[in-house]
Chains A and B, each alone.
Chain A
């Protein structure tokens, strides 16, 4: 079955810097890769997703890149702000079942 590895587990950046979180997956049939943000006391919320027919997608300060050959995808956050502090999860899906990474706790210091 699918296995998703996420790195790093914790990430601390200064406000205004960029943050990058990386994930690898094992099942070459996976074709949907969402990223979720989980704030304290809340459930995960989708922030961006990418499908396998696209290599890159951007939404304001957030971008995701996908390398299907290498089976890895990354989340890029530019101009980080304190409100970006949260736990971020990547996931991969090949048939409606999402397999999540272990999560990255991002801390943005003012």
Chain B
């Protein structure tokens, strides 16, 4: 276990549904990240939060809405997704970003959009 948990592990949703992904870290870190991992493509950084403040939005469509209520929890709210959004969504945490720190990844949520 890496100290980063994600729920649910699997999610199937229709294009009109609204769902949320949850990430929790038990490592005392102050930076949290959302990545998208699609088959045959590199991990794509989506969002970065430092001390609960969003510091990076990598041109992510507005149908993905992140929320970071505290340094231990990170959510990704999903609405009106497209089939091409089907992927593995990974959460990670680290000491404050901007430095040379290891990122610890959760197991991911496998999302399928029908």
Contact = CB atoms under 8 A, between A and B. Distances in A.
Q: Is chain B found bound to chain A in the same assembly?
A: yes
Interface of A: 4, 31-32, 34, 36, 41-46, 49, 51, 89, 93, 95-103
Contacts of A93: 100
Consensus secondary structure, chain A interface: strand
24 contacts: A4-B42, A31-B100, A34-B102, A43-B90, A43-B108, A44-B105, A45-B2, A45-B105, A46-B102, A51-B100, A93-B100, A95-B98, A96-B97, A96-B99, A97-B45, A97-B56, A97-B97, A98-B45, A98-B103, A99-B42, A99-B45, A100-B42, A102-B40, A102-B42
Interface of B: 2, 4, 31, 40-43, 45, 48, 56, 90, 92, 96-108
Nearest to B33: A98
B4 A96 contact: no
A43 B4 contact: yes
Contacts of A96: 31, 96-101
A102 B105 CA distance: 17
Contacts of A36: 105
A4 B42 CA distance: 9
Contacts of B97: 96-97
